[in-house]
Amino acid sequence: MIQIDTRQLGATGITVPSLGVGIWSWGDTGFWGYGATHTLDDIKQAYAACLDMGLNFFDTAEMYGGGASERILGQLRRDDGRPVIIASKFAPMPNRFSARTLLTALDASLERLGVDCIDLYQIHWPFTVIGTDALMDALAVAVRAGKVRAVGVSNYGAAHMRRAHARLARHDIPLASNQVHFSLLQRKPEKNGVLAACRELNVALIA
């Protein structure tokens, strides 16, 4: 396996490759997959190529492909046998009114992935009827239960991220990461305070 640069996920002690693999299109042939024509064999080859290059950090979500992305990743992991680092996400959809739904969704993701613990479990977006404090408390329960190694957020602005970080601190759990749109063309995190807050709070920014 080729040696590549690594990064720390905040203060969690978890080390990941500097380049992760987003697998939102795996198993999705609808809107997000743009009518994708790749086959399962294509995905298997891509998965093996990633691991051959040392890219073992895979980011998925319960919403991707209606759960198909998680199921495919779980099957590939079992078939290949090499260790991987898995990140997934809870979707706080409008019909989810209680933070208890996070724990139910987490169990479903664990089953689709075929694992006992997810390395990084994230809240997919901040805009929800479920309060930030309640969501962070539910994530803390998941960590205490051994079902999640580290917790993060996604699409959070600086203020939401600070609130999440402060609530988790009450449980002595660090906020590992914030996954946002950030690229050579999209520079908003440099201007809206997100990058500065990540640096201040020791939160990894996942682009």
Which region, left, alpha or beta, applies to residue 126 given φ > 0 means left and ψ of -120 to 50 means alpha?
alpha
Catalytic site residue from 34, 47, 64, 156: 64
In the residue annotation, 64 being an active-site residue is answered as: yes
Instruction: Please determine, for residue 54, whether its predicted confidence score (pLDDT) is greater than 60.
Output: yes
pLDDT in tens, 120-172: 999 999 999 999 999 999 999 999 999 999 999 999 999 999 999 999 999 99
Band (1; pLDDT cuts 50, 70, 90):
low
Answering whether pTM is above 0.75, one says yes
Write out pLDDT tens, residues 183-204: 999 999 999 999 999 999 999 9
Instruction: Compute the chain's Rg from CA coordinates.
Output: 16
Q: Find tokens 């720390």 and name the residue.
A: 8
Question: CB-based burial of residue 53 (10 Å sphere; 0-12 exposed, 13-18 middle, 19+ buried)?
Answer: middle
